[in-house]
């Protein structure tokens, strides 16, 4: 997995060879447990009605510390890339 470095410059993250991450938006959870991704984010990520997103969590000291959303087709591709060579060795 690619490491991510954040280097601040004038309030904006700098992209490095290792990648970049930033807070895109803040969302609220309603009383039904639902949240809305703002249109700007959906457009930027090309997320549309019916698209499926995987919720990926990270644990630290036994507690979930953060989550990330990933399009399932991207996740499937990553899993195939990781497991493909392993499966070839097994078979």
Q: Using an 8 Å Cβ cutoff, are 18 and 34 in contact?
A: no
Q: Whole domain around residue 71: which residue ranges?
A: 8-90
Model pTM score: 0.58
d(CA 27, CA 37): 7
Q: What is the number of domains present in the chain?
A: 1
What's the Cα-to-Cα distance from 60 to each of 12, 52, 65, 68, 81, rounded to whole Å?
A: 27, 26, 6, 15, 26
Domain containing 51 — which CATH number? Answer: 2.10.260.10
Predicted pLDDT of residue 22: 84
Q: What is the pLDDT of residues 5-14, one digit of tens each?
A: 444 445 555 5
Predicted pLDDT of residue 18: 66
Q: What mean pLDDT do residues 80-85 have? A: 76
> Taking 80 as the threshold, does the pLDDT of residue 82 lie above it?
no
Predicted pLDDT of residue 78: 78
Q: Is residue 3 part of a domain?
A: no
Closest among 20, 26, 27, 28 to 4, alpha carbons compared: 20
């Amino acid at each position: 997995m690619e490491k991510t470095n954040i280097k601040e410059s004038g309030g904006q993250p700098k992209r490095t060879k290792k990648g970049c991450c930033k807070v895109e938006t803040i969302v609220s959870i309603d009383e039904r447990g639902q949240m809305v991704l703002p249109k700007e984010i959906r457009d930027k990520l090309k997320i549309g009605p019916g698209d499926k997103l995987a919720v990926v969590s990270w644990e630290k000291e036994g507690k979930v510390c953060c989550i990330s959303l990933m399009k399932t087709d991207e996740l499937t591709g990553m899993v195939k890339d990781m497991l493909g060579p392993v499966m070839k060795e097994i078979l």
